[in-house]
Structure 1
Amino acid sequence: MNRFARRRNLDQLKALNALYVDLDWHKTAEWRAQSQDEAEAAILRHVCASNLPAPSMVLRSGRGSALIWLIDEMPPQALPRWQSTMRALGDVFARFGVDRASQEAARIFRLPGSINEKSKRRVRVSGGSAARHDFDALSDEIFQAAGLPTRAEFQLLRAAKRAKRHTNVNPREMPFGLPPAARFRQIRDDLEAIRVAHGGQLSEGLRNTWLHLYATSLTHDPREMSTAE
């Protein structure tokens, strides 16, 4: 699924190329009595209900099913974000018997046309869009489907906690480092970076939180307060 230099060890990882789940639905009480067609149809309905794009490939592995979303090539440095997204993707499909062990970066899948030696069935591609996706956009969709904050929302929450922590600390107990004004200027810089990353305008669900954090940081900058007066 991903590209390695020589061996399939993480220190040999060269590029991340896909997100995927291996679904052992045949092992679950809910789906084991269903046919492959019935289970796969339910899985694809779940994809749609979760507001996720259609998988690039649906692979019938001989017993279960694998969903694969191809992504634009990502560098090895993105591995922590990739791993977080993979955990969230597993949560989205938990009811279909996700094989958590298969969510590692070095995972391989059986080739279409080969025979699964356990089930004696031929592996084949049963569907998929063949599309390749932007990782950041797809990752946000997966986190939303899992009921988790997107990356931008997480940054806002972290900034809010940071602002609240500094607001509630007695100035005499402030740790050494940046003075409060400089610290809150840094928070404003972070908030500006988030706004720019959204094309200069935040979505309606984030706008009030962003404005509250920005206004709070302004109140801790003497230069801004003197200008306001």
Structure 2
Amino acid sequence: MINNALQHLDLLHNATDGYVTIAKKENGTFKQKTLLPSELLRNLDHWQGNDIYISQNSFFIPRRRVDTLRQLRTLYIDLDFYRVLHPYDPQYIVWLLEKDCFRTKIPEPNCITYSGRGLVLQWFIEPTRNFSLPLWQRIQRYFYSILKEYGADPCSLDAARVFRLAGSVNSKNGNLVYLEHRHSERYTLNEIKEEYLPEEVVTRNKRAKFSSSQNRTQKNPHKFSVWTLHRDRMFDLNNLVANRNGDMDGCREQCCYLYRYWNSCYVSDPVEALRQTLDFNSQFLDPLPDSEVVRATKSVENYYKNFISETEFQKARALGYPSAGLNVSNQRIIEMLRITNQEQRFMTTIISKDEKYRRSNKSREAKRRAEGKPTRDEYQASRQEKARVKLEKFRGLLQEMPNASNRDLATLLEVSEGNIRQLKKKL
């Protein structure tokens, strides 16, 4: 069984850049460790037996959350086919998928994990950083839409998921988890998008940011969606905690509340969102007790129900909100968490209008430099030099033609008479 686990780990995390999570379920509790691959291999003997799980992607710190992702390495779908299809033979389900889906509607998976009761389809991709997360998630949701009739689990689509490790045992029925390796060619996200995603998948998301100009063409319809806003705000909270070295006294509850809500909307799984929120809380210099985090963020569950409700969504849009659920302005968040101007410089979305204008001005200045245009100081110096030359030329004309009228001088210098009067005052 150890050889099966080693093969699975090698396929998933060969040359992984970052940390990998391995977990075990014992007596109803979930115990996990997030280690470097080399450490994991040295300690793999301790992770054998019943209900062993492994993360599919890697993390830049030893914490398994979507806002700590280091590399996206795998796409996956968990098929609980036994809930919707008969017979329950997994080989029959694979035959159906080969006949109806693989290489036509979706690419052929690199591996299929027989997890004891269901199947996990895995597509290996060229490792990419977390900035590719929106496209990764779009492909995940597309795969889910195709495989929904085969029992695809909608709660297993986020990038921080763990699935059963080959060589372990599913304690629910005693079946061995094993792996079928079908091919080794890695895909790229763009290849999958171009070849498989239909046009309607990349159109404007119904939860995209509200705009009064509904008919306006958007260059990137997903760029400002509520979904990506929730993701980026989670990243900002993580950066805030890091910049404060975990010292969040005075705003720990508010931080956990916002994090749990945004995470719930992002991963579409309140249970997983709570787990990640408890992990987020553990980064604080003085963490809240888990029970207090659960109590203080309990009402998030109601906001999340409103967020996924189509009726509430339509009501919110009619009132001008981008979505249903919890809508909090950046200014309110900045006040709640006492975010300074300096801290905002390390953030993506939780920024004030002043910081927004500062970045806009900096961007415009950089664009001018790239186009070879002068800096403001250079421009002012150039204007002063032109004024000096004009004044010297005017002084010379007066010496040559002391009795010339303002009109004559203006004609000779190709300026207005008002400009001539101003030049005389400077002499």
Q: TM-score range by the shorter chain?
A: 0.5 to 0.7
Distance 1:140 1:92, change over 3 A: farther
Check conservation: 1:52, 1:142, Cα contact below 8 A.
yes
The reply to whether residue 83 of structure 1 matches residue 119 of structure 2 is no
- The CA distance in 1 between the partners of 2:196 and 2:177, in whole Å, is 27
- The CA distance in 1 between the partners of 2:138 and 2:95, in whole Å, is 27
SS of residue matched to 2:63: coil
Check conservation: 1:85, 1:142, Cα contact below 8 A.
no
The residue that corresponds to 2:63 in the other structure is 7
The residue that corresponds to 2:174 in the other structure is 120
The reply to whether residue 148 of structure 1 matches residue 200 of structure 2 is yes
String of CA shifts for 1:151-200, please: whole Å, max 9, x gaps.
8xxxxxxxx9529xxxxxxxxxxxxxxxxxxxxxxxxxxxxxxxxxxxxx
Pick from 135, 139, 150 the counterpart of residue 96 of structure 1: 150
String of CA shifts for 1:102-138, please: whole Å, max 9, x gaps.
1111111111111011121111113421221111011
Aligned pairs (5 A) from 1:152-163: 162=217
Distance 1:127 1:32, change over 3 A: farther
- The CA distance in 1 between the partners of 2:173 and 2:142, in whole Å, is 29
SS of residue matched to 1:130: coil
- The CA distance in 2 between the partners of 1:150 and 1:72, in whole Å, is 22
89-98 or 78-87, which moves further after superposition?
78-87
Q: CA deviation at 1:2?
A: 0.7
TM-score, normalised to structure 1, is 0.60
Pick from 73, 76, 82 the counterpart of residue 26 of structure 1: 82
- Structure 1: gaps (5+ residues): 152-159, 164-229
Amino acid at match of 2:217: R
Amino acid at match of 1:128: R
The reply to whether residue 41 of structure 1 matches residue 109 of structure 2 is no
The residue that corresponds to 2:193 in the other structure is 139
String of CA shifts for 1:188-224, please: whole Å, max 9, x gaps.
xxxxxxxxxxxxxxxxxxxxxxxxxxxxxxxxxxxxx
Amino acid at match of 2:157: Q
String of CA shifts for 1:43-90, please: whole Å, max 9, x gaps.
222223634331110110110111110000111111122111111110
The reply to whether residue 61 of structure 1 matches residue 131 of structure 2 is no
- The CA distance in 2 between the partners of 1:34 and 1:63, in whole Å, is 9
Structure number with the bigger relative contact order (C-alpha 8 A, sep ≥ 6) is 1
SS of residue matched to 1:22: strand
- The CA distance in 1 between the partners of 2:65 and 2:105, in whole Å, is 33
- Structure 2: gaps (5+ residues): 1-55, 204-214, 219-427
The residue that corresponds to 1:107 in the other structure is 161
CA RMSD of superposed structures (Å): 2.1
The residue that corresponds to 1:177 in the other structure is none
SS of residue matched to 1:19: strand
- The CA distance in 1 between the partners of 2:69 and 2:171, in whole Å, is 29
Q: CA deviation at 1:11?
A: 2.1
Check conservation: 1:140, 1:150, Cα contact below 8 A.
no
Check conservation: 2:105, 2:146, Cα contact below 8 A.
no
What is the aligned length?
151
SS of residue matched to 2:124: strand
- The CA distance in 1 between the partners of 2:180 and 2:154, in whole Å, is 22
Amino acid at match of 1:42: L
Q: Percent identity?
A: 28
Q: CA deviation at 1:140?
A: 2.9
SS of residue matched to 1:45: helix
Distance 1:21 1:135, change over 3 A: same
- Structure of higher CA gyration radius: 2
Check conservation: 1:88, 1:142, Cα contact below 8 A.
no
Check conservation: 2:126, 2:186, Cα contact below 8 A.
yes
TM-score, normalised to structure 2, is 0.33
- The CA distance in 2 between the partners of 1:140 and 1:161, in whole Å, is 25
